[in-house]
Chains A and B, each alone.
Chain A
Amino acid sequence: MHNTKEKQFIVGLTATEDHIGKEIALNAWLEIGEGNHFTFFIPRAEMGQGIYTALTTLICEELDVNPNGKNVKVAHPDALLGEYTNFGMLEDANIKVEKEGIVSWMVKKVFNRFPLILTGGSSSVIDAWNRLRLTGAQTRWQLVEAASISWKVPVKECTTENGFVLHEPSGRKAKYFELAEAACQIAPPKNVELKAKDHFKFIGTDIKRLDIPSKVDGSAVFGIDTEMEGMVYAAVLHAPVMGDTIKAVDADEAESLPGVMKVVSYDNWVAVVAESFWTAKNALMTLKITYNENSGQPLNSLSIRQKQEQALAKKGKRQITKKGDVKAGIKKASQVLKETFHTPYLAHAPMEPLSATALYDKGIMKLWQSTQSSTVLALAANRAAKATGVNLKETIPHVSMIGGGFGIKAELDVPFQASYLAIQCPGTPVKLIWPREEDIRQDKYRPGVISRFEVGLDKAGYPLTWTNEIAGQSILDSLTKRSFGLPIKTGRIAKYKFTTEGAEKLYYSIPNQKIEAEVFQAPIQLGFWRSVGHSNNAFFVESMIDICAESANDDPLAYRKKILTGQPRLLKVLTELEALSNWRISLPESHAKGMAIWHSFQSNVGVVATAIHDPKKQTVTISKIDCVVDCGIPIHPDNIKSQMEGSVIFALTAFYFGEIEFKDGKVVQSNYNNYKMAKLSHTPEIKVKIVDSDHRPGGIGEPAVPPSIAAMANAVSKVTGKRVTELPITKMGFKPGLLGAM
């Protein structure tokens, strides 16, 4: 096993205890050092979602080690091992490797050779739940076996307690460290019985997050914080018009500036390498650049809107769902409801701008990045070697702490650029940073989408027919094209997947359904933005359901209860939400509640938003959020709450401010002054309730974003009497209000 273990990214609860002396690797996930110190290798990126702590807890539960002990540390491994593959991501495509069979066998074989080490899709715990508990149990089994052999006592007389094996009859006790070497020689059984839920010691308790102490004293090393002897810094500028490439760069002035070392251009970007990032960034402004202009129509927000509408109007759209007979059904309807919704393009804008550090020397590339994927780092280095014609022997990918990802930090371009620059400066570490303006203007955006509904209600007011047409750019097509040069063929369901995600399978019982989608081409790059297609479709579908409830003169919560069938978990969420939010208690004038429920990433979330309308100032203010989540067995309740709160704020930013506009082929917004974020003064009171559940854990990083946006829209529609059909809220003529900071 190859683990280079550069220790700089190790975090633990206490910074005082160092691991010194001998260390023994028990498997790919765990090393025990002298003094019984445990280092867990967690191949998922910590970006604030608490994954280091959650996955360590899963191993520790079965291993019988306190994850909050002073002897526990976590590191992201550098090794690209097959077993680090995130198989949980494949569940989205209905591939479950835990089910034995030919498909599972083949998938494992492929990913053992080409490991897919990726953090995303709220899938890390879905992937790890059984695998890591089993790893912990197998390791414990090995240690106990080693003790029983050494002590010549029966296994069943041995017990464990927080890092020790005990033999009570003889009073013997040994540290796991002392048994580790012998334990490594004993193969564990394939299956070891796992604990039942009521025997959990750590799962379900409020374990303190292992990365937090390093985040209150400035010691956490984010990718952008990578510093080393002799480092140089690079700043990058991309062709501002989407689809253009660089034709020529006049760098005379830049190269004459003190501290500037090199100007490098490739494809659609140019970078300045200098002694300081500040120097490099300033030098970028002096470059005289000419571009190869793309032949397409000049892109602007209006032309994108027209493309959406044309796509929607097209005959013969891709059919995604068909149930019953919509045509016949609509004739029987007592009421026909029609509405069209729009959403904007959105940028990720994590607080840590995009950055990567590369050091190329004698055929070896070392990379440091706050990335969601070490596989992508290796791929990027290979691409850069190919582009420059060097013979790359090895890549060592270091994954550092991420200062916010939300989907953007798994892209190839940043580590490719850093590797490309490092190859031009052999032996010198190069740290590339994208100025914030590049981060906003060259993001891989969440696409804006148009969604049209025609819903027929029966005499009692329940939906009889449901027609939903959705049009937008294809995220997956954009991704596969830019990353692998492989567009997806029209008609392939994958092309529409993230456009229709969440809308394609309604959990409300409606006998006749027709759901269709259309995608169109534009030179805007798209990516996975926290909750992806769900972020659009929850707003569309849950707004439409509210319109149905209104037309039926029913209460939105009671109405949903009546039309949910065969969804016990969502029904439970609704019932809990009703209690948590005091749904039936009426509010003062100019206040109203709105709600939404949504299932995504194998979790169920319900949200009630309270909105205040000030007709004089034309402000709307989200003053309170009640959130109920059923994410299966809760592993780390306080962290689940934290993710729900964060998702609500993420949704609030989108609801109040989020919009990327296009003009003359360029992105209008450039920084936080014009791509605004919700702040403390916008923050509503947030109450979270976690439903206790016996189901296998689902994701927690994303599933509260979709229903939060939808609940806010429903609350504002109710309080203003004006149906919110477009976001952000300024499009409806309202300004976001402040809370408690007047």
Chain B
Amino acid sequence: MIEFKVNGQSISIDIDPEKPLLWVLREDLFLTGTKYGCGIGNCGACTVIIDGELARSCLLPVRKVVGKEVVTIEGIAEKGNFSDLQRAWIDEQVPQCGYCQSGMILSAAVLLESVPNPTPSEIRKKVTNICRCGTYPRIEKAIQKVAESKRQGGDNA
């Protein structure tokens, strides 16, 4: 039995411990918001958050998350409402095809958690996921917008 938490829920699953987390999430837990892009940890479509850190789940055997807390795109809404980042993503009309956006939003979430006030250069260095549609200008804008409102300490609830 492999035991870990996903989006706050305890999971106990009888599965090959070598199966990558990506495929456990998608095929066994039906959390299809986490995407398969390259399978070599390059593109970032499979990005999840594990104990507060970013991880690319396509190469990560599920045994490595035993006892850990995994957050996927399905788990970042706050009490059923879109998070600040999700709302900024809608306001800036960021996604085109949308396939990479789960990974983008999670990468942005961890970036803002660790660097609440990122410089443009920090955003550009830290967000290394691929978007084939080219939504980068809007991703950058949406992240800056959330960072800005956090700086002003405004109530974003």
Residues of A within 8 A of B (CB): 47-50, 208-209, 211-222, 224-225, 227, 233, 258-259, 276-278, 281, 349-353, 401-406, 433, 435-436, 638-639, 642-643, 645-650, 652, 671-673, 677-681, 683, 685-686, 738-742
A402 to B97, CA, bound (A): 7
Given A403-B99, A645-B135, do A433 and B90 touch, yes or no (CB 8 Å)? Answer: no
Residues of B within 8 A of A (CB): 16, 19-20, 23, 26-27, 30-40, 42-43, 45, 72-74, 76-77, 82, 86, 89-90, 93-102, 105, 120-121, 123-125, 127-140
Contact A351–B128 (Cβ < 8 Å): no
14 A-B residue pairs with CB within 8 Å: A48-B96, A48-B98, A216-B73, A218-B34, A218-B102, A222-B99, A259-B16, A278-B19, A404-B133, A436-B38, A639-B93, A646-B96, A650-B132, A739-B124
Q: For A740, give its contact among B105, B124, B138 (CB under 8 Å).
A: B124
Contact A648–B134 (Cβ < 8 Å): yes
Contact A209–B27 (Cβ < 8 Å): no
Contact A645–B102 (Cβ < 8 Å): no
Contact A403–B136 (Cβ < 8 Å): no
Given A677-B130, A679-B136, do A47 and B43 touch, yes or no (CB 8 Å)? Answer: no
A405 to B132, CA, bound (A): 10
Contact A212–B128 (Cβ < 8 Å): no
Q: How close is B9's CB to chain A, nearest CB, in angstroms?
A: 15
Contacts of B100 in A (CB 8 A): 351
A340 to B78, CA, bound (A): 58
Contacts of A645 in B (CB 8 A): 134-135, 137-138
Contacts of B127 in A (CB 8 A): 680
Contacts of A648 in B (CB 8 A): 134
Contact B30–A680 (Cβ < 8 Å): no
Contact B97–A216 (Cβ < 8 Å): no
Instruction: Tell which of A222, A259, A351, A678 has the most Cβ of chain B within 10 Å.
Output: A351
Q: How close is B136's CB to chain A, nearest CB, in angstroms?
A: 4
Contact B132–A351 (Cβ < 8 Å): yes
Q: How close is B63's CB to chain A, nearest CB, in angstroms?
A: 14
Chain B residue with minimal CB distance to A738?
Answer: B124
Contacts of B94 in A (CB 8 A): 212, 216
A239 to B87, CA, bound (A): 46
Q: For A216, give its contact among B16, B37, B105, B133 (CB under 8 Å).
A: B105
Q: For B27, give its contact among A233, A677, A680 (CB under 8 Å).
A: A233
Contacts of A211 in B (CB 8 A): 95, 98
Contacts of A679 in B (CB 8 A): 128-130, 136
Q: A209-B93, A436-B38 are in contact. List 12 more A-B contacts (CB 8 A).
A: A211-B95, A212-B93, A213-B82, A216-B105, A218-B102, A277-B27, A351-B45, A351-B130, A646-B135, A672-B40, A672-B130, A679-B130
Contact B96–A683 (Cβ < 8 Å): no
Q: How close is B87's CB to chain A, nearest CB, in angstroms?
A: 8
Q: How close is B134's CB to chain A, nearest CB, in angstroms?
A: 3
Contact B35–A217 (Cβ < 8 Å): no
Contacts of A212 in B (CB 8 A): 89-90, 93-95, 98
For the complex of A and B, the 7 pairs showing the least CB-CB separation, nearest first, are A218-B33, A649-B134, A48-B96, A215-B98, A403-B99, A48-B97, A741-B124
Contacts of A435 in B (CB 8 A): 39
Contact B39–A642 (Cβ < 8 Å): no
Contact A680–B123 (Cβ < 8 Å): yes
A276 to B16, CA, bound (A): 11
Q: How close is A13's CB to chain B, nearest CB, in angstroms?
A: 9
Chain A residue with minimal CB distance to B39?
Answer: A436
Contacts of B97 in A (CB 8 A): 47-48, 350-352, 401-405
Chain B residue with minimal CB distance to A404?
Answer: B97
A436 to B105, CA, bound (A): 23
Q: For A671, give its contact among B42, B135, B140 (CB under 8 Å).
A: B42
Contacts of B101 in A (CB 8 A): 215-216
A406 to B135, CA, bound (A): 15
Contacts of B39 in A (CB 8 A): 281, 435-436, 671
Contacts of B132 in A (CB 8 A): 349-351, 404, 406, 650, 677
Contact A351–B105 (Cβ < 8 Å): no
Contacts of B133 in A (CB 8 A): 48, 351, 404, 646, 649-650
Q: For B121, give its contact among A47, A215, A405, A741 (CB under 8 Å).
A: A741
A350 to B98, CA, bound (A): 11
A214 to B99, CA, bound (A): 11
Contacts of B105 in A (CB 8 A): 216
